[in-house]
Structure 1
């Protein structure tokens, strides 16, 4: 179960792509650039890690004035982009997962009993 973490700064909006917080005016500028960057990074990934383009949640499309509901929908959308490590289960953005898995190793069951 994913628990919504409210923004640290009241009145700020959460980007549905990356999960970062922005002022309402800045978010409108940020989102197209963030999506462009997402496509560039996604295209660099191996085919098995590539994801479908994140869709803007309905709460954002409908123009809801409920900032909390909009932020929760955006946060959930950003969290859906995370992939688990096959060794430890931690979740990462796909481009960071590759970096993490270079150093993460499976736990050796025989050593854990020592």
Structure 2
């Protein structure tokens, strides 16, 4: 027995939209996490940040980043996720350090590695 599909009806339907669950950006590393896992990630990320920062040369050490302030909208306790993510992303990007030679920005531990091979490009 053969199975038949009505092709005319499948073309008229709207394609199914797959919605991602809401994600929150970590203010330390700039990565996206789920709304429940961000509370697990942030303390671990901060601990890792302190370990890495303490291992840097003194001139590259940074002050501890401050968590962006979260304000609720209205009286129901809703939050503007886009505003939270934008301020967290800006916080993560502000921790990048520019290379003295080429001006590109890096995390401090990666800047040391980059500067070993960075050469001033002379325009032709």
Match for residue 106 of structure 2? 92
Question: Unaligned stretches of 5+ in structure 1?
Answer: 1-8
Distance 1:19 1:86 in 2: 23
CA radius of gyration, larger in: 2
Structure 1 ranges of 4+ moved more than 4 A: none
Report how many residues are paired: 100
Aligned to 2:23: 12
- Structure having the larger proportion of residues in strand: 2
Unaligned runs of 5+ in 2: 1-19, 74-78
Map 1:1-114 onto structure 2 (within 5 A): 11-59=22-70, 62=71, 65-107=79-121, 109=122, 112-113=123-124
RMSD after superposition: 1.4
What is the alpha-carbon distance in structure 1 between the residues aligned to residue 54 and residue 72 of structure 2? 30
In structure 1, C-alpha distance between the alignment counterparts of 2:59 and 2:28, rounded to whole Å: 20
